[in-house]
């Protein structure tokens, strides 16, 4: 099933407790919504039953494709998923994580707004994450605003709908080794001359699996991301000129 209207990209790491539920929920929901679609799961070196679950699910769901890779981290898995999705030439690409903290039920309102701008964002309402992660997100928001003059309510949220042209041109300006590509995609998106639709979406407390980046490594990762932002500032404005908006959005 090539040239689907929508491709959903889902990075996965050790989510055997909820992965089947998440994939089934999204596929069944999208079937009722109506667009032609595929779901791409990137298994980032899981050591649990994730590979077996994906293999079994792909037998039951023709819309599901997956790739297994050595563990590279969430950002690299997502970047690989984006690249894979772009090769299939869809109109739209959506990212959601596999941890069951987000629900399909919020997606239709994003989908209905897809022709208003090159990106449509969810924002976590009543965010159910450890307090230190919430604080780090707020610091990130402030750093982005001070450094770039762009106010982004939830820069790294894993609930975003992106046009193919916008995502493809954005990734050309983001180095492959950047830790959190979604932050830089958000920088481009919220610099759009129009208004980016943003909708509050449910955020559920994690019930299963494990956080891909434990707190012991989180501070180091955040410092790396902040340093990448500082370096990116020097070329942000020139990069912005190369972003491709679909004609109807301009």
Whether the per-residue pLDDT at 178 is higher than 60: the answer is: yes
**pLDDT category of residue 53 using cuts at 50, 70 and 90:** very high
- How many angstroms separate the CA atoms of 139 and 124, rounded? 16
Q: How many domains are contained in the chain?
A: 1
Residue at 1 is within a domain: no
**pLDDT category of residue 194 using cuts at 50, 70 and 90:** confident
- How many angstroms separate the CA atoms of 74 and 214, rounded? 12
- What single string gives the DSSP state of each residue in 10-23? EEESS-TTTHHHHH
As a whole number, mean pLDDT of residues 123-140 equals 81
**pLDDT category of residue 247 using cuts at 50, 70 and 90:** low
Residue at 123 is within a domain: yes
Whether the per-residue pLDDT at 88 is higher than 90: the answer is: yes
CATH of the domain at 54: 3.90.550.10
Residues 2-44 have pLDDT tens digits of 589 999 999 999 999 999 999 999 999 999 999 999 999 999 9
pTM, full prediction: 0.90
Residue span of the structural domain in which 35 resides:
6-249
């Amino acid at each position: 099933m090539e040239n689907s209207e929508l491709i959903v990209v889902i990075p996965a790491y050790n989510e055997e407790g909820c992965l089947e539920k998440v994939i089934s929920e999204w596929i069944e929901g999208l079937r009722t919504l109506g667009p032609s679609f595929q779901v791409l799961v990137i298994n980032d070196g899981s050591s649990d039953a994730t590979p077996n679950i994906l293999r079994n699910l792909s037998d039951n769901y023709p819309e599901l494709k997956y790739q297994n890779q050595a563990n590279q981290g969430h950002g690299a898995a997502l970047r690989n998923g984006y690249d894979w999705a772009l090769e299939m030439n869809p109109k739209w690409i959506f990212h959601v994580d596999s941890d069951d903290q987000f629900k399909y039920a919020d997606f239709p309102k994003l989908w209905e707004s897809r022709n208003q701008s090159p990106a449509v964002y969810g924002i976590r309402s009543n965010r159910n994450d450890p307090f230190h992660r919430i604080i780090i997100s707020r610091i990130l928001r402030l750093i982005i605003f001070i450094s770039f003059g762009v106010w982004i309510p939830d820069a790294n949220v894993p609930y975003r709908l992106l046009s193919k042209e916008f995502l493809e041109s954005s990734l050309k300006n983001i180095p492959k080794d950047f830790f959190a590509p979604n932050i830089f995609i958000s920088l481009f998106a919220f610099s759009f001359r129009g208004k980016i639709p943003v909708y509050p979406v449910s955020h559920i407390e994690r019930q299963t699996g494990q956080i891909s980046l434990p707190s012991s490594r989180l501070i180091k990762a955040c410092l790396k991301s902040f340093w990448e932002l500082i370096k990116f500032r020097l070329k942000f404005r020139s990069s912005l000129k190369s972003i491709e908006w679909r004609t109807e959005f301009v």
